[in-house]
Chains A and B, each alone.
Chain A
Amino acid sequence: MTSSKSRILTLAVWLARLILGGVFIYAGYIKVREPWQLFAAAIAGYELVPMQAGVIIAKTFPWVEIAMGVALLIGWRLLPIASIFTALVMLFFNVMLWRAYLQGKQIECGCFGPGEALNWVTLLRDGSLLAIALLVVWHALASSRDRSLA
């Protein structure tokens, strides 16, 4: 029974990594493919950082997303740090999205390229991704603790 539960959990975590890794690579790829100004405009809509900082984020963050996605998919020793970083990024995204939503801002999400408005669907999706990221973190930390005990 325990072994069966463990197998299901392993499968769930594997699936979670696949989803998260795929989503991050896709999100990064979409942004890299588009001119950086589109992402910079989406960042500016949140009114959180000055434009110069937004420009730097717009030019670099898509590559970070791709790297995070690849690290999540590769797993191995990268997994604990990659999953923690992913969860922190997802937490940050969720706070930003909720802040903008509660302020009544009619802005673009900026999550997957241009033309995607911030609405309850984006909130639900990013909330789900945060939950998935937390599952991967928990499993990665538990696995590394087990390995160090053994």
Chain B
Amino acid sequence: MENMRPFALLLAALLPAFAAAPTDADKGKTLGNPSAPIVMELYSDFMCPHCKHLHEEILPSIIQDFVRTGKACIVFREYPLAIPQHVYSRPAAYFATAAARIGKYQEVTDAIFKNQVAWSMTGKLWESIAPVLTPAEQKKVQTLANDPGVMAEVQHDYDSAQRARLNQTPTVLLTYKGRQTPWIYWDDYNLFKSYVNDLLKK
């Protein structure tokens, strides 16, 4: 048994290299097993209609087919596009990231996307978020949304999207066996599904 110790230590040292999820992933924004073979980093902008479509219509299928089966984990990334029409994208990203800190990311993002049309026009984001939180949670999220750490995390996601030369949302950056590939085509989910399944066979 004593002889096994060096191997155990070596294995422990190597494990982070095999674990698929990026080290900078926010645990509150990660869905599925972080050591799944494929990591899907989903870059979204809360004011983007295609992101709403993906979140509501396609994401459940991705979760069903790849996350629940242990083939992939999803890391949600904020990519508030720096365009004048998307003036509320960044505040929405701050609220969502703040919600992730208290384990309410999914609930808050569901609410933000559900009411996208309304708050995009009025800017009254909080009216969509508040109903899915308890009064205590509301207080925490409002405080955290102005926290420099939360703002830095959103900026970090934005910067990583820029570094990966992503120029539109929604984009899924797939990482498999250390190789990253962006996927931007969402009109046919079956094509994406077939791609990921073929990738896993490699």
Contact = CB atoms under 8 A, between A and B. Distances in A.
Contacts of B165: 115, 117
Contacts of A114: 181-183
Contact of B191 (A51, A106, A107): A51
B185 A117 contact: no
A24 B194 CA distance: 27
Contacts of B181: 34, 38, 114-115
Contact of A115 (B182, B198, B199, B202): B182
B24 interface: no
A107 B165 CA distance: 13
B168 A41 contact: no
B191 A44 contact: yes
A37 interface: yes
Place the interface of chain B in its size category.
10 to 19
Contacts, number: 41
B184 interface: yes
A34 B174 CA distance: 13
A41 B167 contact: no
A45 interface: yes
Contacts of A130: none
A45 B182 CA distance: 14
B2 interface: no
Place the interface of chain A in its size category.
10 to 19
Contacts of A34: 181
Nearest to A114: B181
Interface in A100-115: 106-108, 114-115
B198 A37 contact: yes
A97 interface: no
Contacts of A44: 185, 187-188, 191
Interface string A105-133: 01110000011010000000000000000
B195 A38 contact: yes
Interface in B160-202: 165, 167-168, 181-185, 187-188, 191-192, 194-195, 198-199, 202
Nearest to B198: A35
Given A51-B188, A115-B165, A117-B167, A37 B194 contact: yes
Contact of B167 (A35, A40, A51, A106): A106
Q: Which 10 A-B pairs have the closest CB atoms?
A: A37-B195, A41-B185, A106-B168, A35-B198, A117-B167, A115-B182, A114-B181, A37-B191, A35-B195, A37-B194
Interface of A: 34-35, 37-38, 40-42, 44-45, 51, 106-108, 114-115, 117
9 contacts: A38-B195, A41-B191, A41-B195, A51-B188, A114-B182, A114-B183, A115-B181, A117-B165, A117-B167
Given A37-B194, A51-B191, A114-B182, 15 more contacts: A35-B202, A37-B191, A37-B195, A37-B198, A41-B184, A44-B187, A44-B188, A44-B191, A106-B167, A106-B168, A107-B184, A114-B181, A114-B183, A115-B165, A115-B181
